[in-house]
């Protein structure tokens, strides 16, 4: 749990004030370069329509300045409401599926209803965001809107929406560059229409937040204490979350997907010493506005030397260092993880044998069954020999990637005691994707070996960054997750920027990013299987640590466990296995989050059995996904990463509905 000290801290406030001053100076300098000072008021009140410069300033420069302030402030307010209701600093519009839903809705409408998308862009994005959150709400309702259930459901909805968006992007990649830019959050304005649409929403949101401030403040108490004061917890949470979703969705509809501001602004406000909720609301709104404005002004200044990148992507790149600065100012209160609620498996060997038998059956079906010109059929032994050359390498790569992702996810979840933790959280997958994209953009030519090296370098940079930032807190799980989200957001923003460049060679990487096994060679398959076997042989040596860490730091230390060393080693092992899996099938995957939950549902509680069962489940998931992707749209194919997400997402949501915490 994260808490602040009582005293106010001027340091963060001074830094934010400096950013605001720098942004104002930057904007004034840019306008002065276009117009003399004596014409500023005329441009604001009644520009000369015959003057291109005055029209440019009035209809582009000034609206962009204002929309940055309004959008940033609205996102900051939305973020602080989410975090207050869910009682976790991990809450953000992007973690609750709002941004992903809006992006998916716009992508689908732009391809299949372009006229509607052109005339009602904001409404379509809003409908998508609200629909995504409606699913999150329905899934979490049986849990009485418990914070962890909402975040888990939002994370899964985000994965599923992202997988569908990626499938759409692969189908129509050459026409999607504008959509990639919008997904990165573009503040470019041609008139005051976006401001006129978003400003009333911002005013209404501020009024709504003011009315809900007192009930929201009571949520800081435990549930019993809040109920004793006559507070209806479900009603307050519902109204507050709906307000936060509306704020975020209208912002997305106006300026696109801008992540991190809703996460960073409340965090910085808390680090500055704003303890009471009204203080945090006001501070988060102001800080969010300043963060987005400062990021946009920095981008416009940098555009003098390079191609301008979207503001939403810059906030991710800009926000991660701020989190690194302010996270160290927060005090950590260690709390042991709650005891597991799932049943314990009384016959683990039987369940492992059944899982292994199911895995063998999937392997046989994947290798022998398939469509042809004469219909579906199982391959004869003679024909199987020729098919193995094509099917066996991709199956082996998919299975190895599933094992590696499952091991990584199991280690992270047990180490942190957090069921929403996964390899994606620590940014290894996105770091590898950044390495590949940079290689494609910067290198005139490259080989498969250099591709592997670039992906590995990106994964290692991500890992080292997270470890260095978390070192001061001795790798506390809460800090690692927060730093991981910051790094992951930054790398995801950079990926969106690179995809938004519109360069044709970038689209060749899209298939790999979606989790493709199309071009796997026998040599790559052999290496993948070898790495997976090595990981399986190494993992048991860490089982004792994984059994002790969920007990909490005090209990683990009392049993002789070195917390810092064990967490560092486990993070390193998890990052390496996730990076190796990413090199095989790309960063888009659900397996690292899904497989450990399947194993736990089967009743495997001890670390060693949990890892083995999760590895089998991960291999089964990726083999099944690869088979479906190969045959579902025959002769066309879908990448295994997309199919795995589309399979695992609904199943995971069904598990959430079934199990009430």
State the burial class of residue 196 (Cβ atoms within 10 Å of its Cβ: 0-12, 13-18, 19+). exposed
Q: Is the preceding peptide bond at 482 cis, omega within 30 degrees of 0?
A: no
Give the residue-averaged pLDDT of 464-491: 70
At 21 the pLDDT is 92
Token code pair at residue 563? 């917390």
Comparing 557 with 619, which gets the higher pLDDT? Answer: 619
Residues 86-99: what's their mean pLDDT? 77
Q: Average pLDDT of 309-330?
A: 63
Q: What is the pLDDT of residue 385?
A: 76
The pLDDT of residue 321 is above 70 = no
Domain spans in the chain, listed from the N-terminal domain onward: 2-329, 392-658
Of 91-105, 414-428, 455-469, the one with minimum mean pLDDT is: 414-428
Length of the chain: 661
Long-range contact pairs involving 66-70 (C-beta distance under 8 Å, separation at least 24): 66/195, 67/187, 67/189, 67/194, 67/195, 67/198, 67/254, 67/255, 68/187, 68/289, 68/292, 68/293, 68/296, 68/311, 69/289, 69/292, 69/293, 70/195, 70/198, 70/199, 70/202, 70/289
pLDDT tens, residue by residue, 348-359 = 778 788 888 988
Fold of the CATH domain 2-329? ABC transporter involved in vitamin B12 uptake, BtuC (1.10.3470)
- Return the pLDDT at 57: 86
Q: Which two tokens stand for residue 375?
A: 């219909």
pLDDT of residue 237: 79
Mean pLDDT, range 553-581, rounded to an integer: 81
Reference 581, options 657, 519, 524, 509; nearest CA is 524
596 within 8 A of 610, measured Cβ to Cβ: yes
**DSSP secondary structure letters along 98-117:** HHHHHHHHHHHHHHH-HHHH
Give counts: helices (H), strands (E), the chain: 28, 4
* pLDDT value of position 340: 46
What integer pLDDT is reported at residue 3 of this predicted model? 44
Produce one character per residue of 66-76: b if its CB has 16 or more CB atoms within 10 Å, e if not.
bbbbbbbbbbb
Task: Kindly report, residue by residue over 69-86, the tens digit of the pLDDT.
Answer: 999 999 999 999 988 887
Q: What value does the mean pLDDT take over residues 481-499?
A: 71
What pLDDT, on a 0 to 100 scale, did the predictor assign at position 375?
72
pLDDT in tens, 398-428: 999 999 999 998 998 888 776 667 787 677 7
Task: Reply yes or no on whether the pLDDT at 339 is more than 70.
Answer: no
Higher pLDDT, 625 or 260: 625
pLDDT at 395: 92
Task: List Cα–Cα distances, 51 to 33, 56, 152, in angstroms.
Answer: 15, 9, 53
Is residue 489 predicted with pLDDT exceeding 60? yes
Report the 10 Å Cβ neighbour count for 321: 12
If we measure between CA atoms, which residue out of 72, 90, 251 comes closest to residue 155? 90
User: Is residue 60 scored above 80 in pLDDT?
Assistant: yes
Averaged pLDDT of the chain: 79
User: Are the CB atoms for 624 and 362 separated by under 8 Å?
Assistant: yes
- Say yes or no to pLDDT of 5 above 50: no
Check: pTM over 0.85? Answer yes or no: no
User: What pLDDT is recorded for position 661?
Assistant: 42
Minimal CA–CA distance to 588: which of 649, 543, 503, 637?
649
**2 phi/psi in degrees, rounded to 5:** -110, 135
| Angstrom distance (rounded) from CA 379 to CA 392 | 14
Look at residue 117 and tell me whether its pLDDT is greater than 80. Answer: no
Q: What is the DSSP letter of 184?
A: T
Residues 313-327, mean pLDDT to the nearest whole number? 63
**How far apart, in whole angstroms, are the C-alpha atoms of residue 399 and residue 132?**
31
DSSP per position, 423-488: TTTTTHHHHHHHHHHHHHHH-SS--HHHHHHHHHHHHHHHHHHHHHHHTTTTS-HHHHHHHHHHHH
In the chain, the percentage of residues whose pLDDT exceeds 70 is 79
- Whether 2-329 and 392-658 share one fold: the answer is yes
Question: pLDDT tens for residues 646-660?
Answer: 887 787 777 677 655
Tally of CB atoms within 10 A around 64: 23
Q: Out of 33-47, 108-122, 166-180, 422-436, which region has the weakest mean confidence (pLDDT)?
A: 166-180
Second CATH level (architecture) for the domain 392-658: Orthogonal Bundle (1.10)
Q: Does the structure show a pLDDT above 50 at 337?
A: no
For residue 133, pLDDT over 70 is answered with: yes
């Amino acid at each position: 749990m994260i808490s602040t000290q009582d005293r106010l801290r001027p340091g963060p406030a001074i830094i934010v004030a400096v950013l605001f001053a720098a942004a104002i100076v930057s904007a004034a300098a840019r306008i002065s370069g276009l117009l003399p000072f004596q014409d500023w008021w005329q441009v604001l009140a009644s520009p000369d329509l015959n003057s291109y410069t005055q029209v440019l300033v009035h209809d582009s420069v000034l609206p962009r300045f204002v929309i940055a302030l309004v959008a940033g402030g609205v996102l900051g307010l939305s973020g602080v409401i989410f975090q207050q209701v869910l009682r976790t600093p991990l809450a953000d519009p992007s973690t609750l599926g709002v941004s992903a839903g809006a992006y998916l809705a716009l992508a689908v409408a732009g391809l299949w209803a372009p006229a509607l998308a052109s005339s009602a862009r904001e409404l379509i994005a809003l409908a998508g965001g609200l629909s995504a959150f409606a699913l999150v709400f329905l899934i979490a309702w049986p849990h009485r809107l418990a914070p962890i259930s909402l975040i888990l459901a939002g994370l899964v909805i985000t994965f599923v929406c992202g997988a569908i968006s990626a499938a759409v992007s692969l189908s129509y990649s050459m026409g999607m560059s504008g959509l990639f830019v919008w997904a990165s959050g573009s503040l470019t304005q041609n008139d005051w229409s976006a401001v006129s649409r978003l400003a009333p929403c911002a005013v209404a949101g501020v009024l709504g937040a003011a009315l809900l401030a007192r009930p929201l403040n009571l949520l800081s108490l435990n549930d019993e204490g809040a109920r004793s004061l006559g507070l209806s917890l479900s009603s307050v949470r519902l109204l507050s979350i709906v307000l936060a979703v509306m704020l975020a969705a209208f912002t997305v509809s106006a300026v696109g997907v801008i992540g991190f501001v809703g996460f960073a602004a409340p965090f910085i406000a808390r680090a500055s010493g704003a303890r009471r909720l009204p203080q945090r609301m006001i501070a988060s709104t102001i800080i969010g506005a300043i963060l987005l404005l400062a990021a946009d002004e920095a981008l416009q200044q940098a555009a003098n030397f390079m191609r301008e990148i979207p503001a939403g992507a810059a906030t991710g790149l800009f926000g991660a260092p701020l989190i690194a600065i302010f996270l160290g100012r927060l005090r950590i209160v260690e709390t042991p993880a709650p005891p597991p609620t799932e049943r314990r498996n009384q016959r683990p060997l039987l369940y492992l044998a059944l899982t292994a038998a199911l895995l063998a059956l999937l392997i046989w079906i994947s290798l022998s069954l398939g469509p042809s010109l004469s219909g579906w059929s199982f391959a004869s032994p003679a024909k199987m020999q020729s098919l193995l050359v094509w099917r066996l390498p991709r199956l082996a790569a998919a299975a190895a990637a599933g094992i590696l992702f499952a091991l990584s996810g199991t280690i992270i979840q047990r180490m942190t005691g957090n069921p929403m933790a996964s390899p994606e959280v620590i940014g290894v997958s996105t770091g590898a994707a950044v390495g590949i994209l940079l290689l494609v953009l910067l290198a005139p030519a490259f080989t498969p070996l250099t591709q592997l090296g670039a992906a590995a370098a990106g994964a290692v940079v991500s890992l080292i960054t997270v470890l260095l930032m978390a070192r001061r807190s001795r790798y506390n799980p809460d800090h690692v997750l927060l730093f991981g989200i910051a790094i992951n957001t930054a790398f995801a923003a950079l990926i969106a920027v690179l995809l938004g460049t519109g360069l044709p060679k970038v689209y060749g990487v899209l298939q790999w990013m979606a989790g493709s096994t199309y071009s796997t060679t026998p040599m790559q398959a052999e290496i993948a299987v070898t790495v997976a076997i090595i990981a399986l042989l190494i993992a048991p040596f860490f089982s004792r640590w994984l059994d002790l860490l969920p007990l909490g730091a005090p209990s683990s230390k009392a049993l002789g466990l070195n917390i810092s060393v064990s967490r560092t080693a486990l993070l390193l092992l998890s990052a390496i296995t996730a990076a190796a899996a990413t090199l095989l099938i790309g960063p888009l995957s659900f397996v690292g989050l899904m497989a450990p939950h399947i194993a736990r549902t089967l009743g495997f509680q001890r670390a060693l059995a949990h890892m083995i069962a999760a590895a089998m489940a991960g291999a089964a998931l990726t083999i099944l996904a690869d088979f479906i992707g190969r045959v579902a749209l025959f002769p066309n194919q879908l990448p295994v990463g997309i199919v795995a997400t589309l399979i695992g997402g609904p199943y995971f949501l069904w598990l959430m509905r079934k199990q009430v915490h």
